[in-house]
Amino acid sequence: MTRSLTTRRPVQTAERDLVRGAQAGEVAAFEQLVGEHADRLYAVAVRLVVDRTEAEDVVQESLLRAWRGIGRFKGHSMFSTWLYRIAVNESNRALERRLRRGVAIPIDEEFVQIPAPAHDGPASQAEQEELRHGLDTAIASLAPPYRTALVLRDIEGLSASEAAKIAGVGEAAFKSRLHQARLKVRAALDDTALIAAPI
Amino acid sequence: MRVLGRRDDHAWSQEHLSHYVEGDLSWLARRRLELHAEECPDCSRGIRAVRALLRLMHATADRSGAAPASIFDRVRADAARGETDQARET
């Protein structure tokens, strides 16, 4: 289930050209370069800050930082890894600001009310919704470093190695966070419902 | 040293179910967990639960929807300011 940014979209000449264009100040090149990742970046930000409006702000600010800092991108890592790392850092800054203001983490209702697949009967739909609501709440309750590990590896499906680079930690530390996060999330859910869930 | 079939296998297995599913255990540790799980309904069920949890989380990946069209607003504004400044200098 690993969804590597590297294998999903290997380094191509086209990407290098777009990076050069963006470094030369071409907004269109930058937008094209980043556009492919925009939906995933937004999804990660929504998961990390647990609020759509704040996630939009996080992504806007991340892209501004990436635009202003594109000259420092030397191609030592994948462009996507570099970009995701900026977004994760910006999400963490947003969470720190929220913590300083003493604001609790909201659970975005629109975010958690997910329609179940159409082939399910009414009972199964309700159960599945409850399970997903529980999952969202459990993930939102994790401390940011653990949430980041879970979101990058288990939700986004990135390889542990790539996700560790994005999180800015070594792979061993990343995996330790990931396993702890899974333990906590599983403890918050009902095993029977999990196993029976029609996924 | 007796590595397989120890008395603390249950607590150890419960803590390492995610490592097992992730493929992060050594061959010996993997065997230790598998041998225990064969006789322990809790741990056998735990393995299935962790796998189901991973499937469920992966299935939620695309639920956030498309990024709003506004995400490039600040970049465009910044670029436009840059162009204006450049025009003033020339």
pLDDT, position A117? 44
> For A25-29, A62-66, A104-108, A134-138, which range has the lowest pLDDT when averaged over its residues?
A104-108
pLDDT, position A198? 76
Confidence of residue A140 (pLDDT cuts 50, 70, 90): very high
pLDDT, position A191? 87
Other beta carbons less than 10 A from residue A167's beta carbon:
25
pLDDT, position B3? 55
pLDDT, position A129? 83
Whether residue A127 is predicted with pLDDT greater than 50 in this model: the reply is yes
Interface of A with B in 170-199 (CB under 8 A): 175, 178-179, 182-183, 185-186, 189, 191, 194-195, 197, 199
pLDDT, position A111? 46
Mutate which: B72, B81, B85, vs A, most A CBs within 10 A: B72
Whether residue A21 is predicted with pLDDT greater than 70 in this model: the reply is yes
pLDDT, position A76? 85
**Residue that the structure tokens 């996700």 belong to:** A163
Total H helices, total E strands in chain B: 5, 0
Of B15, B54, B74, which has the smallest distance from its Cβ to A64's Cβ?
B74
> For A41-45, A141-145, A195-199, which range has the lowest pLDDT when averaged over its residues?
A195-199
- Rama region for A72: left / alpha / beta (φ>0; ψ in -120 to 50; rest): alpha
A175 CB neighbours in chain B (<8 A) are 22, 24
pLDDT, position A192? 86
- Say what the ipTM of the complex is: 0.82
Quick check: A79 and A19 in contact, CB under 8 A? yes
> For A56-70, A82-96, A158-172, B50-64, which range has the lowest pLDDT when averaged over its residues?
B50-64
pLDDT, position A6? 47
pLDDT, position B61? 80
Whether residue A165 is predicted with pLDDT greater than 60 in this model: the reply is yes
Long-range contacts of B13-16 (CB under 8 A, 24+ apart): B13/B37, B13/B40, B13/B43, B13/B46, B14/B42, B14/B43, B14/B46, B15/A183
> For A4-18, A45-59, A175-189, which range has the lowest pLDDT when averaged over its residues?
A4-18
Instruction: Write down the pTM of the prediction.
Output: 0.83
pLDDT, position B17? 96
pLDDT, position B13? 95
For residues A50 and A5, the model is more confident at A50
Confidence of residue A126 (pLDDT cuts 50, 70, 90): confident
Q: Which residues of chain B have pLDDT under 50?
A: 1
How much is the mean pLDDT over chain A? 85
Interface of A with B in 55-74 (CB under 8 A): 55-56, 59-61, 63-64, 67-68
Long-range contacts of A21-26 (CB under 8 A, 24+ apart): A22/A67, A22/A70, A23/A70, A23/A71, A23/A73, A25/B79, A25/B82
